[in-house]
Amino acid sequence: MKNFVVKTLANAGALGVAIWLLQDITLTGESTGNKALTLILVALVFGLVNVLVKPLVKLLTLPLFILTLGLITLVVNALMLLLTSWLAEQFDLSFHVEGFWTAILGGLIISVVSWALNIVLPDGD
């Protein structure tokens, strides 16, 4: 359970950095508490997308992964971020990613920050 909480907090932190750095990734709310709750809920959705959908997409894109020497991972991460944005809209969460190229850059930022936070934060159950 502790590992799940740590990963969710790392995702929330990484999403927060991407929102802070990129003006086309938005998170709106009436108060700071509302924004923080929305960010944690979006991090949960993002985590579920990465656990449930990403492995299937990676399996289907395996030939492209080999052909592009792994660069297709940037596209897969962008698609997962766009899917998270769409799902957040369906759940009436105020999170939005505007455009594919923003999603590419956002996915790159989220990957780097999440990796760094997972190294720093404790893990284990």
Q: What is the pLDDT of residues 34-72, one digit of tens each?
A: 889 999 999 999 988 888 888 898 888 888 888 888 888
Contact 97, 106 (CB under 8 A): yes
Tokens of 89: 């809209």
Q: Residues 10, 117: contact at Cβ < 8 Å?
A: yes
Amino acid identity, residue 57? V
Q: What is the pTM of this model?
A: 0.86
